[in-house]
Structure 1
Amino acid sequence: MEFARRHGEVVQLLVTTIEQVNALPERSRDRSLRYIPALWAAIMQPKANWVDNGRPASGIIGEDTLDHLEACADIISGNLVGSAAAPRGADLQEMSDQSHEWLTLLQDMDEQEIPGPVKDALISQIEHLIWLIENAELFGGARVSAEANRVIGSLAQASATMENANPETVSRWKKSWIAFIAICVAFNAGAPVVQESITSGTEIVKEITGVVNDVGRPE
């Protein structure tokens, strides 16, 4: 099970890498895309067996392809630094703490406040984010940042289902949401969670809330 989970993350890393390469300037993009089939073959092993003990790890992928992958990572970092693709931050403790607080908040909510399937899906997503944070040295900060962004989007959608939540829960939700966005903004920028990050998070929340409130309104 653990191998399947980790392998799935590596496949996701390939998908993310393709997206990042496509965001590069044309010359770097075209040169890097030529190596994608070799990376896919190394990850998927379509002509070999993962449990074959007679195959050394050195036979999975050539050193020249690995060198190019590392060079590609340097180009991505140089062009996309400060974004979710190449976050500057290294300390994930605050994001981990906030993620655990979200788990507690969601687990304390009942069916009347948030639909069960929505709640269960959010808990699963946040638990996955925590797992990625715990394995950041293996999968990298960019995967953590991307998953955190996905969680933010899911929380935004879930906000529209909380019509029957009590005011205290709504207030706690909003404060946690702003704090979580601020932490993600700060992590991407490689900065401490300062007032500027919180302000940015507040503005993003206002924009998202405005969109959510507009959904379903007659034109």
Structure 2
Amino acid sequence: MIEARSKGNSSWSKAWASVFGAGLTTPEFARAHAETTVLLAETVEDMQQLSAERRARYESYLPAWWTAVVRPRQDWAAEGTAPTPLLAPSDLDHLAACADLIEDGTSNVAPANPHSVEILQRGVDYLLGVVQEAGDIPATVREQLVADFRHVRWLLDHVDTYGVEHATRAFERTSTRVVTAAAEPSAQGNQGLTTVMFTVLTILVLLLGAAADLAAVVEGVHNIVGLGAGDASVHEIVAEVYEVCVPEALEEGAFDHERFQLPPGSEPGSPDSPRELGPGQSDRSAHDDNSEHTETVEEGDR
């Protein structure tokens, strides 16, 4: 909004077009402006975190902010109606102050990693490939996830307009959808959804901090889902995502394949290797199933 006001165009549509890089009647303009209204809606939602006194103060500016975005009952293309009168500096200052307060007390994932945009870009590109290639993910779920990740990627391509926090929030929403889908009883044993779930969790751990050490990222993912140290299949997923999202770590020596060893007996294909894990399944449950199988075999031998 500050950028739109400062462009000095002769009409409202030209001001927004200069911000979005698209003309008023184009699909890209419609998409970009719709996303701007979503951003305003998120601001309204986040204002509920503020104290009652602060919330009341900033809510009094909501009509002005909404009018600045939507500009109702006006001809956007009319010449000589520059956006300056509808965007008073004081209204913009209060919007910026409100955003600062929300950011200080936000409850969503704060992208503490200074390379969060690059991590998300690489991670989402990787996820799109994983989801599209996973034939065992139900078609409706796969199509929804592809659409969601493409939207996050679009936001990252326009991060200068909407901000990294907005893109991160969209990624969080999709991550929640992934975990929910993976937790469905019908998804048990669905390796595609399991891989996608641990991939998004790895990316979220990377966003929460610098996490230059692979072992710390593995531990972070394990702490989220309560897995044991012997979950070799999870280690492999996390290691691959780490390598994709933080390739500079390879040059810095943080990704050391010799130093990062899987627990003894957990190498894929070894006799003691745990089977592939379903959503929410720990290596303990896999061990219990193997124990039952062993007992059955022993009884048959007798």
Structure 1 gaps, min length 5: 212-219
**Quick check: 1:45 aligned with 2:71?**
yes
Q: Does 1:156 align with 2:187?
A: no
Could you tell me which residue of structure 1 aligns to residue 133 of structure 2? 108
Note if 1:21 corresponds to 2:41: no
Residue 7 (str. 1) matches residue 33 (str. 2): yes
Shift of residue 98, structure 1, vs aligned partner: 1.0
SS of equivalent residue, structure 2 residue 99: helix
Shift of 1:145: 1.6
Moved more, 50-59 or 26-35: 50-59
Following TM superposition, the consecutive aligned residue runs of length 4 or more in structure 1 with deviations greater than 6 angstroms are none
Does the 8 Å contact 1:182/1:201 carry over to 2? Answer: yes
* Partner residue, 2:162: 139
- Match of 1:54, SS state, is coil
- Of 113, 118, 126, which residue of structure 1 is paired with 2:141? 118
Deviation per residue, 1:18-77 (Å, 9 max, x gap): 111110122221111111111111111112122223321213321110111112122223
CA distance in 2, matches of 1:57, 1:106: 43
Q: Contact 2:50/2:102 (CA < 8 Å) preserved in 1?
A: yes
Measure how far apart 1:154 and its partner are.
1.3
Residue matched to 2:90: 64
TM-fit CA distance, 1:158: 2.5
Does the 8 Å contact 1:96/1:133 carry over to 2?
yes
Q: Which has the larger displacement, 174-183 or 135-144?
A: 174-183
Q: Which runs of 5+ in 2 are unaligned?
A: 1-26, 228-278, 282-302
**Contact preservation (8 Å) 2:112, 2:207:** no
Q: 176, 179, 185: which is aligned to 2:208?
A: 185
Q: Secondary structure at the match of 2:187?
A: coil
Whole-Å Cα distance in 2 between the matches of residues 61 and 54 of structure 1? 15
**Partner of 1:214 in structure 2?**
none
Residue range with higher mean Cα deviation, 8-17 or 155-164: 155-164
Letter of the structure 2 residue corresponding to residue 205 of structure 1: V
Which of the residues 91, 108, 124 maps onto 1:84? 108
Q: Deviations over 1:163-186 (max 9, x none)?
A: 464x5x466435423312313433
Structure 1 residue 198: deviation in Å? Answer: 4.4
- TM-score, normalised relative to structure 2: 0.59
- Rg larger in 1 or in 2? 2
| 2:121 aligned residue | 96
* 1:201 is aligned to 2:244: no
2:129 counterpart SS class:
helix
For 1:11, give the aligned amino acid.
T
In the alignment, which residue of structure 2 is the partner of 1:215?
A: none
Please give the alpha-carbon distance, in whole angstroms, between the structure 2 residues aligned to 1:51 and 1:164.
56
Query: Quick check: 1:178–1:202 contact (8 Å CA) kept in 2?
Result: no
Aligned CA-pair RMSD: 2.6
**Worse-matched range after superposition: 55-64 or 99-108:** 55-64
